[in-house]
Amino acid sequence: MIERTNEQWIADLTTSSAGQTQALQDLRERLQRGIFYYLSRERSDLAQLSTQELTQMAEDLAQDATLRVMENLDSFRGDSRFTTWATKIAVRVAISDLRRARYKDFRLDDVTAEDELLPAAANLNNHNPLPNPESAAERSDVMTKIDSALREALTDRQYQALEAVALRGVPLEVVAEQMGTNRNALYKLVHDARRKLRTSLEAQGLSMDYMMDLFQD
C-alpha cells in the first residue's frame, strides 16, 4: 500500500478516477486491519468466534466505516493524520454495532421505579450482617433516604436513564435509541440526574464521603 499525506488522501478519495478506486480500497483494508486487531485482541466477549468469522466481521465493519468516512469527509479538519481520523470513525462504527448486538434483548421499559429499591434495602443488610446493629440501622436509614431521593428528585425518565446507564452499565447509545433521543442528549440527561441526586442527598445532610464510608466494608 502506498503511503499518502493527508492532502493526497483527500485528493485521491474525492477525484473520480482509478486513483479513487485504489484509495478507497486502501482505506478499507487499513480500517479492516485495525478493526480485526481490536476484535481479536481486545474483545474477550468474541473469543468464541473463529478467525474466519472475525475476519468476515472486520470486513463488513470496514465496509460500513469506509462509507461513513466518505459521508463525513468534509468534517476532517486536518489536525491529525487522516488515517487516525478515519480509524476513529471505524472504531465508533464497530463498537456501536457490537453494543447493539450485545444489548439486543434489553428493554428500557423493564427498568422502572416500582421495583428493587426498598425491599432490596433490607436485603442489603441481610447479605452483609454487621456486628454492630447501630451501623445496620444507620445504613438502612441512609438507604431509605437514597431511595426517596431517587424517586423524588428525579423524573421517571431521569430515573430510568440513570439506573440503566450507571447501575446496569447499559451503553448510552443503546438507551438513547430506546428513548428516542441521541447519545449526547442522553449523556446530559444522565449527568443532570447525577447532580440533582447529589444535591438532594447533600441537602439531607448526606455527604458523598459519609456515604462512601458507611457502605464501604
Partner 1 sequence: MLQDQLDKLLQSILRAHEDGMDCESCNAEFECLAEQVAAGGDIHALLPAVEAHLTCCSDCREEFEALVLIIRAENGGLTSQLTD
User: Which positions lie near partner 1, rule CB under 8 A?
Assistant: 29, 32-38, 40-42, 55, 58, 79-81, 83-85, 87-88, 91-92, 94-95, 116-117, 120-121, 123-124, 127-128, 143, 146-147, 162, 166-167, 169, 171-173, 183-184, 187-188, 191, 194-195, 197-198, 201, 208, 211-212, 215-216
In the complex with partner 1, which residue's Cβ is closer, 23 or 189?
Answer: 189
CB of 17 to partner 1, least distance (A): 26
CB 148, min distance to partner 1, A: 13
Q: What is the DSSP string of 102-139?
A: HTTT--GGG--TTSSHHHHHHHHHHHS--S-HHHHHHH
Dihedral sign for Cα 174, 179, 182, 183, please. Answer: negative
Shortest Å, Cβ 60 to partner 1:
14
Query: Which has the closest alpha carbon to 171: 161, 181, 158, 180?
Result: 161
Q: How far is CA 38 from CA 1, 24, 34, 94, 109, in A?
A: 21, 21, 6, 9, 33
195: part of which helix (H) or strand (E)? helix 183-203
C-alpha cell at 161: 436513564
Cα 94 to Cα 43: distance, rounded to the nearest angstrom: 12
Q: Which is nearer to partner 1, 14 or 182 (CB)?
A: 182
Which residue lies nearer to partner 1 by CB, 16 or 169? 169
| Of 9 and 36, CB closest to partner 1 | 36
Cβ at position 7, least distance to partner 1 in Å: 17
Beta carbon nearer to partner 1, 15 or 188: 188
The nearest distance, CB 166 to partner 1, in angstroms, is 4
Cα–Cα distance list, 55 to 41, 44, 45, 96, 136 (Å): 13, 16, 16, 18, 54
Which C-beta is closer to partner 1: that of 17 or that of 122? 122
Q: Are 111 and 190 in contact (CB under 8 A)?
A: no
Q: How far is the CB of 125 from partner 1 (least distance, A)?
A: 10
